[in-house]
A = this chain, B = another copy of it.
Amino acid sequence: MINFQSTERTRVRRLPKRGNYDRETVYKILDEAMICHVGFVVDGQPYVIPTGYGRSGDTLYIHGASTSRMLNSAAEGIPVCVTVTLVDGLVLARSAFHHSMNYRSVVILGTARRVESDQEKLSALRIFTEHIIPGRWDAVRQPTPQEMKATVVLALPLEEVSAKIRTGPPIDDDADYALPIWAGVLPLKLTPGIAETDPRLTHKLEAPAHVKNYRRG
């Protein structure tokens, strides 16, 4: 199926023309962004915590220490919301009111399950690392059994999912187009700087290609 089924809870109500339920669109946003914000509820209070993640097909994996309140709450099978947002630019209109941002976001609702099998867990850890920086997994020391135990991995099915996207120039009120005010878009992009070698590096090594040629999106 190409599209996610929109539900009463995931249907984009505000500015519905920005809503998108296309699988490839959702995948692309999830694969380009670096972090997600996980929402969960404890004693009626919502918490929103940033964390890393990775995707495999229609499964989103999030992970953390086995002592994490977020992961242990979510692992109990409580409802979560995972949101991923890319900021693409400032939309500078002629009126203050029509200022906006170009962005791409994905909202996933559902209930996470704790990954129990070592095989799926190891695969998820590989996916986390490769999501952040492709090529890294094969270059580093693999997890030990103790490290595997110290890591909780949760799997959230991509079922109730929607994307929301704004692109393009500002949309001003008709009368405002005559105003002598500059308007347009200032693009923004998460850009890598120069790699900083760990001062404790014990070998004379250059940063490898997967670091030096890093780019996102």
Contacts and interface: CB of A to CB of B under 8 A. Distances in A.
Interface of A: 9, 13-14, 34-35, 37-41, 44-50, 52, 64-65, 67-69, 79-83, 85, 87, 89-90, 92-97, 99, 101, 103, 105, 107, 109, 125-126, 128-129, 132-133, 136-137, 139-144, 147, 150-151, 169-170, 172, 176-203, 205-208, 211, 214, 216
B35 A101 contact: yes
Contact of A99 (B67, B129, B190, B199): B129
Copies per complex of this chain = 2
Contacts of A68: 14
Contacts of A207: 182, 184
Given A39-B46, A50-B83, A129-B99, A196 B190 contact: no
Given A47-B39, A196-B169, A197-B182, A140 B96 contact: yes
